[in-house]
Structure 1
């Protein structure tokens, strides 16, 4: 291969990499004029090539940041050094419709035949930002739950046990008839304290999951959570515990809890359907309502969308898949698919059942 052929091959390779890159690539002149934009950047920013190439880089910068960005660009042109992604900068980029997204941007100086340029590689980190927000929300939720449990134990359980202790000190000062009455009172009080402790523990790990299974646990929870003021609940479910280990049952239970709670809090639905069935080692769960619906794309980017992310994150823990379908005014459908894990040590056909559906 001669020199010209090598040049041509290199040029073709560059063009292919430019087109196929999963990150956006922009090439701009020192004055900020965009000269080249790869397909991913056009998709990311929502501009056709004819509108973006030849425009100022300012069109991709939120208006409130443009003046500062021009200063940064001038400084970069005077001192052009490579700046990697994750350089400690929290950056926002602007789409053609005016919406914004968090971005990581690396800059590199380059030289073309007609002069110097700046090469910017842009990565949309919306999902990473969501995960960070979810992680922060999870930590805060855990702290709030610990605080709630500590408050309950201190304000109620500890105080009642202290009262029992004081009452026991009086035993030696009482005659037999009074002791009998005091013991009856103490038995009732200790029983009430035990119930409270059991209630707190049930919130952490429902004992019903092991004793009566995930379907009946869901049924009990639905009765307590939805109530007479909520939507009419239609539960059709088969026993699926033979397909799932305890961790999977707990994850499925929590996802159903979150999905149903979202319906009760936000959907203004008249009907709520819950379907749980297992076939061939696969458990499919559907939570569906006829409520107001929402746009899943915009909702998951906001704080009130952390519950949706939470369902997906829980599912990932056990290799399950969660899909969420919704449109404004058309209700919402949450579908969970969970496969039997090999370490269960049972054949996939174990637990295939012929029992009819149960309905609430």
Structure 2
């Protein structure tokens, strides 16, 4: 039965019942209307409206359930669908099927657009890193050499001041090189994921002042470059969030094989998930996870703190 005929039928039941009661009940209406008769008519109207409202709420409940489920759907958490049995036939069932089909299209288009955006982002990172290394880095190196030459030929107190400027320039050059490594992890391309994560955690421990523990399995399967880049970026963003928001003292980074998956986990002992909000960084990690068909979740860490986990399916090559 369609939604139109369902509502029409419910109203017909209410009106038919009211008409039958008027015909069969020993109640008459005088002219002019007597007060008691008016009270009876008003009470009958109220009963009829309440019955109509209750029946309509029962008849439209499938549509309300479908609408309520629609509001919970998030494209960054794919696979959410409305169960077909909620529609109970008619237009609601058609709405359910159409909405699920729309989700299929949107998730596919979102994955494709996210892939293009992330590839463009990585290309821009490489370009900026290249310019920092070749332009800014070389210019600062030339300045450093010139300062060293002038400092060697100068007398005090100018010699001491030039040495101080030289140390400031050297520290700035080191910071530029660190930014280049963050923008373009050359060690990932040259030595692989394990070495890149080792370098990342060592650099993080040095600059953030936190204790970092690594747990990396030795029997990790071979991963393609795109998957390794996603794992590296998720670890990088997770450590950045720990330094900025977690107020933690200890961080554990683990990369292990679990059956047909590879699991990356970053756990801290900070303030926990109550302080975690879905900002641009977390949504960016979710989009990267969708790019490689991985599962991303944030949950309380054992004891205290927050744990970020990325589970990547491993594609087995035919033997």
- Could you tell me the TM-score, scaled by structure 1's length? 0.44
Structure with higher helix content: 2
The structure with the greater share of residues assigned to strand is 1
